[in-house]
Chain A
């Protein structure tokens, strides 16, 4: 990335593939332009501030690993199923290459990282989706890993926290990716029926099959500020209805106003908020 990459603020989904938003942190680029306020930020300041713009509070996207580091107690994260990879079941054109590129870009094997950790010394199962891996699209491995994480949590009577970011189901895995919505929902329901806590943290953007399954199934649904959250993407809605979208449409604050999000939480407060909620649900300290 060169020093002054000028990026027009775009529709979040459109920009997701190419903008600085989704670029992993590159230590040798000194400056980053905030897509919201256009200010140039010192990359190290941005990193220091958990990738939140120091001028306008714009929340940049965050890699799965950065988020795990942000939320979990130091060195407490143990990953599950880290070697699980998608096979190109349908022999879909260019899918193998896409997977390869996504692995390269994100450093992850799939679009979600799952595992257990402690937060405020309390045991939790934590699943974090990756914006750098095909924009968190839900394939069969994504669904399988999330399902296994919930099954583990049910068996060990642990709460689950899922941080979502997703463009939706992964069309390259066809109907089997759609089936992951049912599969994960089933695992969430079994966890819930055992009286266990599930907290969703919605981050920008969360749409499609993930919104219409586990993202909306939390006992408590939190969101980062200004995150896009919806079932149909804004462009599809605009094209279908031929109507100008209302101001703030599908943004976290708007969706909270409509009654579908419990609280919008600043990134800097996220870890403490989660820890407080865990305490309120009598989650036991790690012994």
Chain B
């Protein structure tokens, strides 16, 4: 598969979305919590509590929607500032109860709307980056589809970041990159190669710790069971660390990326 094939796979409308993952891994134990308690409830972000075997966790996910009606309601998975603020509120709640946080990321990017700008989209993302870096409970982020720039990173400052094999993670969309570089957005396939945005590229660059095999269909029970077990094992390991060590490791994880001497 070429890099651009991966881009298309990551965006495929038949691809499983965050609510599918939540349903498959946590079933009826998932209890959704709404709103940022400041402005409103952003439907692009689904968040709540769930049981990971016998451990309660906080789940925060960006949801694109599975059909046209849902996609409209979810704003195609592009969050507004209140979505990121809902995420932060629930991360702080998780910290209070020392619950691990699982983030599922799937977005083409934070919403570039007039209202979003007026309500401080940049600040909302910046605050998440800062607060997640020192959140005193384990965080794990899994990119399940598109990882679009700052809007994805706002849920991906974590102890470990994993990617589904056909997901992508990029600083800019290949179309955006192509139109800046070559004034021609149809050159997105070439830009996709240049940007090094596939799971294997990112693994090689040290940006992700693990690549997860794709489920072959929605009933791929073995895959979801395997993923759930890996998540549980990772949380177990990180819950056992003392907080100072956990945060030191998280800081060091990002500190070494693009370091120079």
Report the separation of the CA atoms of residues A257 and B165 in the bound assembly, to the nearest whole angstrom. Answer: 45
The number of chain B residues touching the other chain, given as a range, is 35 or more
Q: Which residues of the partner chain B approach A246 to less than 8 Å between Cβ atoms? A: 114
- Pick from A84, A92, A170, A175: contact of B169, CB under 8 Å: A175
Interface of A is mostly: helix
A215 touches B254 (CB 8 A): no
A171-B172 CB under 8 A given contacts A240-B113, A249-B117: yes
Residues A155-213 near B (CB distance < 8 A): 169-171, 173-183, 185-186, 188-190, 192-193, 208-209, 211-213
- Pick from A171, A212, A243: contact of B126, CB under 8 Å: A212
For A, the interface residue count at a CB cutoff of 8 angstroms equals 58
Q: Which residues of the partner chain B approach A211 to less than 8 Å between Cβ atoms? A: 122, 126
B171 touches A232 (CB 8 A): no
A182-B254 CB under 8 A given contacts A177-B171, A211-B122, A231-B150: yes
A60 at the interface (CB under 8 A from B): no
Residues A48-81 near B (CB distance < 8 A): none
- Pick from B123, B133, B150, B194: contact of A178, CB under 8 Å: B150
Q: Which residues of the partner chain B approach A94 to less than 8 Å between Cβ atoms? A: 181
Report the separation of the CA atoms of residues A190 and B131 in the bound assembly, to the nearest whole angstrom. Answer: 10
B43-51, B195-203, B225-233 - interface stretch: B195-203
B260 at the interface (CB under 8 A from A): yes
B17 at the interface (CB under 8 A from A): no
Contact with A along B230-258 (1 / 0, CB 8 A): 00000000000000000000010011011
Report the separation of the CA atoms of residues A237 and B196 in the bound assembly, to the nearest whole angstrom. Answer: 26
- Pick from B113, B126, B197, B260: contact of A216, CB under 8 Å: B126
**Besides A183-B257, A241-B113, 5 other CB < 8 A contacts?**
A89-B258, A185-B133, A186-B251, A209-B149, A258-B120
